[in-house]
């Protein structure tokens, strides 16, 4: 994986793009969770490894189940309903 990241950095540098390491996340899925994999390094900084992230409004977890997304939506709905009840 590190070789692919190094190639990506080289291509981005060639076209004048800057890669922001603080905005990049890595999530392991499936069998990769059980194997000890070294973190990917970008510009001498390791990429942060996360268990969940939000992509196009959908919360994705490393077990690929909907529980995280449903919890976030339920929480948002509950807070909106509370404020609607306060308007009565």
44 and 87 fall within a common domain: no
H helices of 1-88, in order, are: 2-14, 67-87
- pLDDT at res. 70: 93
**Quick one: pLDDT at residue 75?**
92
Q: Does one domain contain both 17 and 46?
A: yes
For 10-39, letters b (16+ CB in 10 Å) and e give: eeeeeeeeeeeeeeeebbeeeeeeeeeeee
Residue 64 and residue 59: Cα distance in Å, rounded?
10
Domain check: are 40 and 71 in the same one? Answer: no
Q: What domain count does the chain have? A: 2
Q: What is the residue range of 64's domain?
A: 51-88
pTM of this structure:
0.64
64 and 85 within one domain:
yes
Digitized pLDDT (tens) for each residue of the chain, 88 residues in all: 788 888 988 898 899 988 888 888 888 888 777 777 888 888 888 888 899 999 999 999 988 889 999 999 999 999 889 888 888 7
């Amino acid at each position: 994986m590190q070789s692919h990241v190094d190639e990506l950095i080289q291509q981005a540098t060639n076209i004048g793009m800057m890669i922001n390491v603080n905005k990049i996340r890595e999530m392991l899925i499936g069998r990769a969770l059980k194997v000890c994999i070294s973190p990917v390094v970008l510009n001498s900084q390791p990429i942060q490894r996360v268990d969940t992230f939000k992509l196009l409004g959908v919360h994705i977890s490393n077990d690929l189940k909907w529980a995280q997304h449903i919890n976030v939506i339920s929480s948002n709905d509950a807070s909106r309903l509370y404020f609607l009840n306060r308007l009565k």
